[in-house]
Structure 1
Amino acid sequence: MKILHIDSSILGDHSTTRQLTAAITARLRAAAPATQVVYRDLAAEPLPQFTAAPGAEDAAALATALEQVLAADVIVIGAPLYNFSIPTQLKSWLDALAVPGKTFAYGANGPEGLLGAKRVIVASARGGIYTPGTPMASLDHQENYLKSFFGFVGVTQFDIVRAEGLKVSEEVKTQAMAAAFGQIAALQAA
């Protein structure tokens, strides 16, 4: 198995999503010890912004990002909620992946995703509570966006490990982290 481990939080060692992605990757490696991991820190080394005509260096960086995804069996993504959405560094990475003929194709019946064999596990962290049925649910442009994007490119194995309400109180944070680590412990390698 090949894992692509992506972090995008700007908070470094203080990042909840970095803790969660590390735990997810460790859990998957423990279940399948021969696993290979490629790590990419989008905050430390951001991809260039999406443009119509990238220069040679930018085009090479974007091509490398795409090749890493195409080579992976599992993609573990740290996706904190910033201002109701994902970090700009993560958005730039997703832009590099939306490539006709590589990750999706247009056909007579509309677009068809080409990454159906991939599994994506998102480590989501949120200061507030945005799950469906809550007053803030309509402001979730993070998890819904990621699920839509990866659905568009054909991913059907999509899981979210969520730590939510981290800024509500210490009690809520403790419960949210325990629940997230419980989800991680239950993850299967395949």
Structure 2
Amino acid sequence: MSSTNRLPLLDDDLEQELAKLLQSVALDRDKSAFASLFDHFAPRVKAFLRRQGTSEAQLDDLVQEVMLKVWRYAERFDPEKGKAATWVFTITRNARIDFLRKENRPEPDKNDPMLVPAAEIGSDENVFAKQSASRIAAALAELPKEQSEILKLAFYEDKSHGDIARQIGLPLGTVKSRIRLSFNRLRSLLTELEL
């Protein structure tokens, strides 16, 4: 370790030295500067994490993760925005939060019905779906063109009422009324067709 990487004892001098070391890591990927940063921050990060309740089993892994991030992201440190220690401990805090989120994330329950794939549609259901679709198509054909078009935009093309209003150049309230009226007319036609 060179004498320029030695850390002085005075707070202002120490902060300036830490900032210089971070800049050396950022600009030159200086391993010696990083070793000095590691020697300075690793025990402090470990003590901080211990005070925050991190288990002994996880301390070393988290310290390594924090220091790796210091190495990787040193170019993001800006001495104009804050102190080196503040920057490193922000990384530490965020790494701990990420760790806790991962640790507290429940394992997926393999028996959860939401995770079980839907069964294949049976042939009876498939026939019924095709018959229903053809009856709906026939009922749509019975509607006036404006009504069938607005229903197709809303339900087949899945457009929002606002998008439909812009597309056909009508006020939003008018579009909503027409969709409701068209849908009611379609419902009565389907009832007549016994769907």
Q: What range is the shorter-chain TM-score in? A: under 0.3
Kindly indicate which of the two structures has a greater share of residues assigned to strand.
1
- TM-score w.r.t. length of structure 2: 0.21
Kindly indicate which of the two structures has a greater share of residues assigned to helix.
2
Q: Which has the larger radius of gyration?
A: 2
